Amino acid sequence: MGGDAGVRTLFGMTLAFHIVYATLGVGLPLFIALAEILALRRADPLYRLMARRWAAVFAVFLATGVVTGTIVAFQLQLLWPAFMRLAGQVIALPFAIEVFAFFIEAVFTAVYLHAADRIAPVLRIASALLVAVAAAASALLITDVNAFMNTPTGFRVQAGRLVDIHPFQAMLNPAMPSELAHVLVTAYLAVALVMAAFAARALLRGGDPVEVAYHRRELDLAMALAVPAWVLTAVTGDWAGKFLDKAEPIKFAAQEGLFRTSAPATLVIGGYADAATASVRGGIPIPHLLSILATSSWSGSVKGLLAFPRASWPPVAAVHLLFDAMVGVGVLAGLAVVGYWWVRWRARAGYGLPPQLLGGLVAMGPVAMVGIETGWIFAELGRQPWTIEGVLTTAQAATTYPHAGLLLLPFALLYGLLGAGSVLAVTVHRRRHPLSESLREGGVAGARGGGREG
């Protein structure tokens, strides 16, 4: 595989791997900070232990994320030279500010990891919160570049040259608010469900009363974080959808499998969007719903793909499938959150959680990360054939080096080693410092959990 296809595949593989660690790097610090706050507020040593144990995991994932993020930066320069020339002139500001955000994250991660037991609880919480804020800022600044690629602004092209360049205007591009908000809250939701999966798995295995109390707190905290994260995911998803209908109507039509401009427009769930026949085979049609979602009107008009040149269409079948998969994960996440708190409320006296519910929560961990991956691929594939919408095509942006495909196997092996190494490092650390031993070292083994449950 060479040329443009090889470049796309190589860079896509790199980002697909990096986004897992980037997402965990955004969500874990917030979880740790919340555990520290509860430890102080409730005088509960189990929450302090929880923060310490997950901080060790975060350190491993942060290190892996730094490595993969560095690879992304190098590949941007090597594989996408035309894009980087334009980006360097117009949208370099978020890249520059992100460096400072990463420095803050790195410094206060070091403070938290190496001085947490020697500083006051308030300072410990402050350092954890600064890590969480800096990690979120770092992710949002990079996402802002992607938003610019969707709705480029802050410059003009005149006689093949960039003129009237306004970096702040480019940074504050139209797609920025909705895209950044949606990316951040989905990261928190995904990480909350991953944390819940680990806690649910531990509760299925059982243990002594104090270990069970620890994992109950862990599960409650994760699912409490999931509540606002899921609500905001739905709200920002609706916001992003309405924005797409106005600013990126081709992508919106492709995600919905809508070929003909309609008023009212029917929402089709599932099915195969066949560009050859300009129709969706199968699927579940719901009349008027697409008009409501796109325009907030019962009979609002929504443009279909046939209103645009076929050469400007993305791969419709794949985009429609990816969008449905992303939304499907969001629906499953909502069912998991509502179902958990319903059962938790019904069984609040004895806190008995059925194994079926715990098993479902275990499954939701990887499912949530699938939602992150499908969301990212949908966002990039839906913009094709453009790298920068209306300005630079993907074919123009890619390097002309014909042998990029030769790098696929070496990088695949590298990512396999990095993934296996990070999992092995966490596993070895957990085995060397099992929860039972940590409880004894923390002086809470005989306290039956200490503090208040829930």
Over the chain (454 residues), the average pLDDT of each successive run of 10 is 72 91 94 94 90 90 90 89 89 91 92 85 92 94 94 88 90 94 96 95 86 91 96 95 93 94 91 92 92 90 94 94 95 96 79 87 95 94 93 89 81 90 84 70 50 39
* 209 and 334 fall within a common domain: yes
* 314 and 453 fall within a common domain: no
* 4 and 21 fall within a common domain: yes
The verdict on residue 390 lying in a domain is no
Range of the domain at 330: 178-247+249-382
Report the C-alpha gap between 83 and 75 in whole angstroms: 12
* 90 and 192 fall within a common domain: no
The verdict on residue 395 lying in a domain is no
Report the C-alpha gap between 294 and 286 in whole angstroms: 14
* 284 and 315 fall within a common domain: yes
The verdict on residue 208 lying in a domain is yes
Look up tokens 């039972």; give the residue: 436
In the numeric block, which tokens belong to residue 211? 């270990």
pLDDT given for residue 441 in this prediction: 64
pLDDT tens for each residue of 136-183: 999 999 999 999 999 999 998 887 788 899 999 999 999 999 999 999
* 124 and 190 fall within a common domain: no
